[in-house]
Chains A and B, each alone.
Chain A
Amino acid sequence: MKKIAFLGLFALSTLLISCEEDDNNTNNNQEPTDTKVTPKFMYDYNFGADDFQLDQYYALDGGAQVSFSLASFYISQPTLVDDNDVETPLTPEYIIVRPGDGPTSFDAIESGHAHRLKFNVGIDAATNTENGASGVQPSDFTDPNHPLAPQPEGMYWSWASGYIFVKLEGAYDYDGDSQADTTFKYHLGVNDLLQVKDVMLHSDMAGGEDFEVDIKLDLKQVFTNLDINTEVLTMTMGGPENKALATKIIQNFANGISVEKHDHGSH
């Protein structure tokens, strides 16, 4: 994995300040330790303007409601990019995200400027096993806690050998009486449906601090141009209509993801 540190003027000034501080201390051999920054992803599920929780009804247009029993998805290959397009891949490389999950702490990187953040919604094609044994499979892992190991909700198609990028399941209540009228299952994946997010952060990363980024997901976006009466099931594969529906939903899902530097004042 290519890992290129980006040190800007900010980092340099931090280093100088550290040296001055060292001069004031008796221990002149102390290495400066505050050039590193720990990136963190904070996850925030919403449904429109409401906070989101599983198994709660949320209003859709026309008086219908929807509740989710599952809303899990993969993030892969998160990468920070500086002003000079120098990329710093973050570790861990694969993350499974579920409602209510706490933050992901990445390995420390050099401080500097985070111009952009890139990541995939889904698993990159080189890793995803799609009709071939060259990729990664859940059976490869001795660590059951690895995100690509078998997951309780089943994030892998054993019958088609690929990871499910986004798994949404739940129920529709068409008449608004808070009783489920039908269930829905949207299992979205395959390599050409990988969604790449590339967003502007334009934030300095101060050494010695956490660099916290909010990954906000608005699940209401999933229902953009979706006919909830007829479009209730897709496993992505199994026919062109399934693929078309999966394509629409995963694009809606990815459009519902926004990213911004975490503002401590707002919480």
Chain B
Amino acid sequence: MVSRLRNMITAVTKYGLPKSKIKKLGSLALLSFFVFLACTPNQDQQKSTAVDQPVSIAIPHFPEMPVPENRPITKKRIALGKKLFNDPILSKNQDISCASCHLSAKAFTDGRNVSTGTEGRQTLRNSPTLFNLAWQPYLFMDGGNPTLESQVFGPIEEHTEMDNPFTEAMARVAASAEYQRLFKEAFGDDVNPFTLTTALSTFERSLVSYNSPFDQFYYYGDSSALSPSAQRGLQLFTSEALACESCHSFPLTTNFSFENIGLKMHYQTDSGRARVTQVAADHGKFKVPTLRNITLTAPYMHDGSVETLSEVIDHFAAGGVGHPNQSKQVNGFAITARQKEDLLAFLASLTDTNSYQQYQD
């Protein structure tokens, strides 16, 4: 069924559909969860995308995807962004690409404790999943950047990542006849700060994960999608005692707040949110991560210091180390071995193995 749905999605994005057909597709959303709608562009969009047709990504049980008006998503921009994402041209030594730390098979993480940049340099943080970035109100674990576009400067220029001035990366891309052609086709414009960042951000917005067994069970009434154990785990997850959902809110499984989870008493090397706000009360706080595809994104926590989900549950059950800034929600709970298995079964049901496959070549 998955391949049939993927073919349907391809057909919609490739050719566009009359409204009646789109409506019919909308009714099929219960099955597909995922609809690319070829919309009639408004005047602004027509102006900026005269060379390509905009598409909107609508997931029925997600909030509407926020997309900047001057940066509509188009097929050619997604394709161009994907090419850049996988091209080491952006890094100083042309030895790593975005995909080096964001592997599609690992839900766009890299499986390392912390990421490795050019020349083997170690970053401070665990590679985050890129799925559903479009809904993030701010980027990075400390929320220091407000848009997907200006976020692009971070990994390219950071010394421990690509270590390349953005202007140099841009000059390299602009020197490529192939990229010149692709930018003209996607934007009707040259390679410049706006178009280069928009190509990458557009690809990132297209990375959506929405079709897990949990989605099928919770939003579309497929009672067979979750095992009895996973269903019990869901009840635990949303229970007052564990209160996981108070921060890992549905449907995105994050409320984007900054929390200190009492991982350790001292955060010397990475103060988290406090690095941005300079507020002592923010020391050790990091943005609540999504739990979607959590079985694909080990190891865990901002520094990748916890290897397994079982240990993550142990941490929260123990109630953290008692950091002065620790979230009040992290206050410990009792959990039996069977309940822990149930909770792990539920977390596994958040894994959407269909989504990442469509991003692979």
Contacts and interface: CB of A to CB of B under 8 A. Distances in A.
Interface of A: 129, 131-133, 137-144, 149-154, 156-161, 237-240, 243
A141 B275 contact: no
Contact of B145 (A150, A159, A243): A159
Contacts, number: 97
A243 B142 CA distance: 18
B157 interface: yes
A248 to B, nearest CB: 16
A154 B157 contact: yes
A238 B144 contact: no
B124 to A, nearest CB: 11
B180 interface: no
Interface in B160-186: 165-168, 170
B193 A141 contact: yes
A contact patch SS = loop
Contacts of A144: 167, 170, 192-193
6 contacts: A131-B277, A137-B146, A142-B192, A153-B165, A158-B150, A240-B278
Instruction: Please indicate which of the listed interface residues A133, A139, A144, A152 has the most CB atoms of chain B within 10 Å of its own CB.
Output: A139
Q: Say which size band chain B's interface belongs to.
A: 20 to 34
B144 A138 contact: no
A34 B277 CA distance: 52
A153 B168 CA distance: 10
A161 to B, nearest CB: 5
B166 A150 contact: yes
Given A133-B147, A142-B194, A159 B154 contact: yes
Given A150-B166, A238-B278, 12 more contacts: A131-B143, A132-B146, A137-B147, A141-B193, A142-B192, A150-B193, A158-B145, A158-B150, A158-B153, A237-B278, A239-B271, A240-B278
A153 B165 CA distance: 7
A144 B146 CA distance: 21
Nearest to B155: A158
A188 to B, nearest CB: 14
A171 to B, nearest CB: 17
A152 B277 CA distance: 27
Contacts of B146: 129, 131-133, 137, 161
Given A154-B157, A240-B278, A142 B193 contact: yes
